[in-house]
Structure 1
Amino acid sequence: MSEPLLERVRIVLVEPQEPMNVGAVARAMKNFGLSQLYLVNPHPRVGPPWAREAYWLAVHAEDLLDRAQAVGSLREALEGVHLVVATTGRPRELYPAPLVPAWEVPGRVLTVAGPVALVFGRETFGLTNEELDLAHLIGTIPTAPEQPSLNLAQAVVVFAYELYKAALGGSVEAREELAEVAALEALFDDLGRYILEIGFTDAHRHPYAMRRLRRILHKARLSPGEVQLLRGLLHQSRFAMGKKHG
């Protein structure tokens, strides 16, 4: 198995509330070769320092908890990341990125030549629309309609298993150079201002328009050079419009 493939994967928990869930996540990660755990604004009863209840459930994964990083925002957890997979079990009117089942995630993730992140939401209501906007891919776990919800550790173990199984096969190579999250978000900031300036949309419909545009551009899996090209196009277009009306 190619260990570096899994070493680049971050598991990000957004505002976890239960210490035992965090411990169970650490154990699931250790079961399947994952080692990077980030917690975004964890509840005070979770830590840091991590609650003893978390260590009770982190059987043989205490070292992973010891190295876990607590950060104040999702963007901070995604610094340096080249691909973000957000997980959700809730239907939405419009997803800002392609929607794929858990077993298709490894083929999209492990080919990326850089850090990747799998983001899991709160135990109570998952991820907000604004947090989903940061994702390049939305991963789902099909479940029986009689009991559709999974707890946090269950969701992590499904994705971790799929990643481990793909890496175990040894046929995946990390060759794809994708732009970092920060570069993509700078592009979306430019694009968001631009579509307002040209009257493509108005302030009320702007979030919906941007989610559709995000979805289109995420399908393209943009490289750093392509992001620079598109930002340059927007800047030059804005400059040309200013000269025309100046």
Structure 2
Amino acid sequence: MPDDTDRNRSDDSDTTLPTDRTTPAVAVVDAQSPGNVGTIARAMKNFGFEDLLLIDPPELDPDGEAYGFAGHAREDILPNATEITFDDLVDNYHTIGCTAVTNEDDRSHIRFPFSTPADLAERLPTVEAPTALVFGRERVGLTNEELERIDEICSIPAAEEYPVLNLGQAATVTLYELRTLTLDEGDTQLPDLERVRAPEPMYDRLYDQWADLLEEINHPDEKREKTMRMLRRVHGRADLTKREANTLLGLLRRATERPAERSETDQSSR
């Protein structure tokens, strides 16, 4: 765990470590594939993370695989990544080691206890220290020796018979679950889904129109009360908007009028 004093990373940039943010950095330990580093950078860009830390990384050629996989993250996250040592990481950050396999219970504490990414999304905002999500190698992940030095463990729930994810996949799933730390609803590409419920007088008109239709089609009297109660509950759960309620009113009105129209047509044809 870091204290409240500023420390410097052991790289040539002499960048001062943050001490008061809750948005985690993303640390990748000894990745073998430049493509996975690029994939992680891209996922960071997708979900609002900015600070990429690399421990013993492969060569990241601007014309190579990492930048090819990074998408728009090639413009900022990847070129601004900081190379540090594992010692610097555990000394200066509250670290969360991500591992697929726990295989332990409360009798051992190298890989136990653990949180899921969803658990972390709720708890990390309370950690008043710079935090880092730590992802390990493609083949073996983080070693037990590394996990012993890490503050806590995170594991993605997956099928028991095959819980191991690709490095890039694991980072993407974890960052997606933690996006609430970085993105507000208005910060995503999705339209505003806030729905305005139709006013109650419109609901009353809708229920009156249903009652008229039941009468027009000679719905059994003994069933009408129960049917209206069911319709009220269906519409209540739906939280209809004004436009939706208007559309239903028009359809019900037309359906109610059709029997009368057919009757008039039949009489005139005689």
Same fold per superposition (TM over 0.5):
yes
SS of structure 2 residue aligned to 1:67:
coil
Q: Deviations over 1:103-152 (max 9, x none)?
A: 10122222212210111111000111111112222101111234321111
CA offsets 1:176-203 (integer angstroms, 9 cap, x no match): xxxxxxxxxxxxxxxxxxxxxxxxxxxx
Correspondence for 2:125 among 102, 106, 110: 110
How many residues end up aligned between the 2 structures?
A: 161
SS at match of 1:117: strand
Contact 1:19/1:50, CA 8 A, preserved across alignment: no
Residue type at the aligned position of 2:43: A
Task: Provide the C-alpha distance between the structure 1 equivalents of 2:60 and 2:174, rounded to a whole number of angstroms.
Answer: 25
Q: Is the 8 A contact 1:78 1:117 kept in 2?
A: no
Matched, 1:67 2:54: no
- Contact conserved, 1:50 with 1:65, CA < 8 A, in 2? no
The letter of the residue matching 2:64 is: R
- From the superposition, tell whether residues 76 and 48 of structure 1 become closer, same or farther in structure 2 (CA, over 3 Å): farther
**Match in the other structure for 2:195:** none
Which SS does the other structure have where 2:78 is aligned? helix
Task: Report the counterpart of residue 57 of structure 1 in structure 2.
Answer: 69
Report if aligned partners of 1:13, 1:120 keep a CA contact under 8 Å in 2: yes
The answer on whether the counterparts of 1:98 and 1:136 sit within 8 Å (CA) in structure 2 is no
Cα distance, 1:99 vs structure 2: 1.0
**1:25-67: CA deviations, max 9, x gaps?**
000000011011111112xxx2155661100000000111101
Distance 1:50 1:92, change over 3 A: farther
Q: Secondary structure at the match of 1:107?
A: helix
TM-align CA RMSD:
2.2
Structure-1 residue corresponding to 2:56: 41
Measured at CA, do residues 5 and 33 of structure 1 come closer, stay the same or move farther in structure 2, by a change above 3 Å?
Answer: farther
Identity %: 39
Q: Give the TM-score normalised by structure 2.
A: 0.54
Q: Distance in 2 between matches of 1:56 and 1:137?
A: 33
Q: Which is bigger in relative contact order (C-alpha 8 A, separation at least 6)?
A: 1
Which residue pairs with 1:95 in the alignment?
A: 109
- Partner of 2:88, secondary structure, is helix
**Residue ranges of structure 1 left out of the alignment (5+ in a row):** 171-246
Alignment partner of 2:54: what SS? strand
Distance 1:15 1:51 in 2: 21
How far apart, CA to CA, are the structure 1 residues paired with 2:60 and 2:83? 7
What SS is found at the alignment partner of 2:38?
helix
SS in 2 for 1:77: helix
Structure 1: which amino acid aligns with 2:48?
A: G
Distance 1:56 1:21 in 2: 11
Segments of 4+ in structure 1 off by > 6 A?
A: none
1:46-195 → structure 2 map (5 Å cutoff): 46-48=58-60, 52-62=64-74, 63-71=76-84, 73-81=85-93, 83-93=94-104, 94-96=108-110, 98-168=113-183
Compute the displacement of 1:5 (Å).
5.4
Report the secondary structure of 2:71's partner residue.
coil
* SS in structure 2 at match of 1:66: coil
Residue 99 of structure 1 contacts residue 137 of structure 1 at CA under 8 Å; is this kept in 2? Answer: yes
- Unmatched runs of 5 consecutive residues or more in structure 2: 1-19, 186-270
